[in-house]
Chain A
Amino acid sequence: MLELIDLNLNLEGDNGKVSVLNNINLSLEKKKIYVMTGPNGGGKSSIAKVIMGIYPLTSGKILMDGIDITEKTITERARLGIGYAMQQPARFKGMKVRDMLTLAAGDNTESSLCDLLFDVGLCAQDYLDREINASFSGGELKRLEIASVLARKLKLVLFDEPEAGIDLWSFKKLTETFEDLNIKYDTTIVIISHQERILKLADQVIMVENGEISEITDKGKILDEIEMLDNSCRCRQACEIRGKSNAIECNR
């Protein structure tokens, strides 16, 4: 349903142009769950932002259901059914949770807004009339961000490290929510994550490093590698799997 063809992205850095993405080719199929993982600064978020239209491509093409969307704006892509849950969501002085979710859902019935908040583990009574201001903690903001994307019944959703700031209790709920979304609306899901439990949701795992896709594999292989790291790795630098040091974090 989505094809990235020969994507290159250069961004302006402090010391001139920086090449962020090189020759990315990727094809996402309808209704599948992809988990994008790899080291920090490798280009995962940039791929998501290029798909959403937030970063303009230096060269390459993006096709959605066969239609070229390369030149389309963020707004147009949103209306075509692409959504993006940001890694660090913005706060809005004066805007209430209710306003944000109504904008996202296009529907403001109390029950549907409550369901959305319930899905991300927030109590509607406490939150609907709260302003999205500095009083929101990082975790609360993150959940609201996810709710605002869930509200939209999309074809393709990009979640940028959704688990950051989410406590363990809510984690299970979060993974269920992703699975529901996938089943209910046939949504294709791309999750940027380093979490084993998120990796378990994946139909395919996309490894991104140094601005390139280094490997696309099934989750079994990655999970095996994690197990190996867990069992026999004393220090990450010392661990080599199939001839290269593994990108999956080993925290011992």
Chain B
Amino acid sequence: MPLSVIDKKILEEVADLHEIPIGAYNIRKNGEGAGRNTTANIDIITKKDKPGIDVIIKPGTKNESVHIPVILSKDINDMVYNTFDVGADSDVLIVAGCGIHNSSCNTSQHDGIHEFFVRKGAKMKYVEKHYGEGNGSGDIVLNPKTIINVEEGGVVELEMIQIKGVDKTKRDTTVVLAKDARLVVTERLLTTNDQYAESNIKVELRGENSTAQIISRSVAQDDSNQVFHLIMRGYANCRGHIQCDSIIMDNGHVSSIPEVSAYHSDAQLIHEAAIGRIASEQLIKLMTLGLTEEEAEDTILQGFLK
């Protein structure tokens, strides 16, 4: 299926791709497969019992990437189950973006359930980008669910980015870490108008010496609403750190509801959260460099969400 101009723009937004990617990929468009490529080390198989794919990465696969962008350009309700098996000692990048172009008055919705098995000693960077556009009045809705099991010594870097365009989103992320496993979650969120975003991240530090860090930064503009439930539970000698920073503008509203729970006397868990407007000293500083107030605001937000 050839890609249209709209498809290409969405691909660029969600996957930093201009054309068909190199390496393994699976492009899903309006609920159907629109292109697939496998490599010697990475196999992609269509699920038989439900919509979705199995991505199987052979043990020891190094420096390869898998792109699984989803494009919705029709007002449909798309639901997909994807399973990833990241083989032992491999080192891979997985990019899953979802872009919706809705020019109708009906809701376009994509709900994805992504389950990862990161095997012993494997390293995975998982990037998920959300993007919505279109001048229709129909809502753009994205509800991703991510479940990650990290085996002994596995390292997972999770990057979740949603900048504007998505009307409603509820993101559930659960990560379970075994012995010596490491996790870094970077979340970036910007909502405008009357958008609503909810992010629930639950990290279970089950194994000895496991570490986890969540760095969440968000901006709520206009009348938008954001809710964060960032949860870290330590069941062993482990270390966890949550940093949650939000900037509110206009009538934006942010609730940050943390939980750090220790079920082991050697669990060290820290939670930091801050919500506030842009500091006036920051604006003044940039204005004294010749920027207008709007430019100063943009510059501060850009840095904050980088």
Contacts and interface: CB of A to CB of B under 8 A. Distances in A.
A90 B304 CA distance: 14
B245 A93 contact: yes
A103 interface: yes
Interface stretch (B1-9, B17-25, B290-298): B290-298
A241 interface: no
A93 B303 CA distance: 7
B303 A89 contact: no
Given A90-B281, A94-B217, A78 B299 contact: no
A78 B287 contact: yes
B289 interface: yes
B184 interface: no
Interface in B267-286: 279, 281-282, 284-286
A216 interface: no
A78 B290 contact: yes
Nearest to B286: A103
A18 interface: no
Interface size class of B (residues with CB under 8 A): 20 to 34
Nearest to A78: B290
Contact of A94 (B279, B284, B290, B303): B303
A89 B285 contact: yes
B48 interface: no
A103 B303 contact: no
* Residues of A contacting B: mostly: mixed
Given A93-B303, A95-B303, A78 B284 contact: no
A83 B288 contact: yes
Contact of A75 (B217, B245, B287): B287
A34 interface: no
A96 B217 CA distance: 16
Contacts of B286: 103
Contacts of B306: 94
A79 interface: yes
Given A75-B291, A78-B290, A93-B245, A86 B285 contact: yes
A84 interface: yes
Nearest to B301: A94
B249 to A, nearest CB: 16
Nearest to B290: A78
Given A86-B281, A93-B245, A78 B304 contact: no
Contacts of A78: 287-290
A11 interface: no
A54 B284 contact: yes
A103 B289 contact: yes
Given A78-B287, A84-B288, A99 B281 contact: no
B207 to A, nearest CB: 30
Among A74, A104, A148, A152, chain B packs the most CB atoms within 10 A around the CB of A74
Contact of B290 (A75, A92, A96): A75
B300 interface: yes
Contacts of B185: none
Nearest 9 A-B pairs (CB), nearest first?
Answer: A95-B303, A94-B303, A90-B281, A74-B287, A78-B290, A94-B304, A90-B282, A75-B287, A79-B290
15 contacts: A74-B284, A75-B287, A78-B288, A78-B290, A83-B288, A86-B285, A88-B281, A90-B284, A92-B303, A93-B217, A95-B300, A103-B289, A103-B291, A148-B289, A152-B290
Given A88-B281, A90-B281, A99-B303, 15 more contacts: A54-B284, A54-B288, A73-B287, A78-B288, A78-B289, A78-B290, A93-B303, A94-B217, A94-B303, A94-B306, A99-B299, A103-B289, A103-B299, A148-B289, A152-B289
